[in-house]
Amino acid sequence: MVASLAERYDGADPGALHTPVMIERCLELLAPVAARPGAVVVDATLGMGGHGEALLAAHPGLTLLGLDRDPDALALAARRLDRFGERAILRHTVYDGLAEAAAAAGLDRVDGVLFDLGVSSLQLDDAGRGFAYARDAPLDMRMDQTTGRTAAEVLAEEPEGRLRELFERYGEEPLAARYARAIVAARAATPIERSARLVEVLQEATPAALRDRRHPAKRVFQALRVEVNGELAALERALPAALSSLGRGGRIVVMSYQSLEDRLVKRVLAERSRSTAPAGLPVELPEHRPEFALLTRGAERADAAEQHRNPRAVPARLRAAERVREAA
Binding residues for S-adenosyl-L-methionine are 49-51, 68, 95, 116, 123
Cβ contact 121:18 at 8 Å? yes
Q: Which residues lie below 8 Å from residue 124, measured CB to CB, with a gap of 6+?
A: 131, 132, 312
Nearest to 69 by CA among 45, 36, 103, 50: 45
Dmax (CA) for the chain in angstroms is: 70
φ/ψ of residue 214, rounded to 5: -160, 160
Residue 195 identity: S
Q: What length does the chain have? A: 328
Q: Which residues touch 93 (CB under 8 Å, ≥6 apart)? A: 67, 68, 69, 100, 101
Binding site per annotation, positions: 49-51, 68, 95, 116, 123
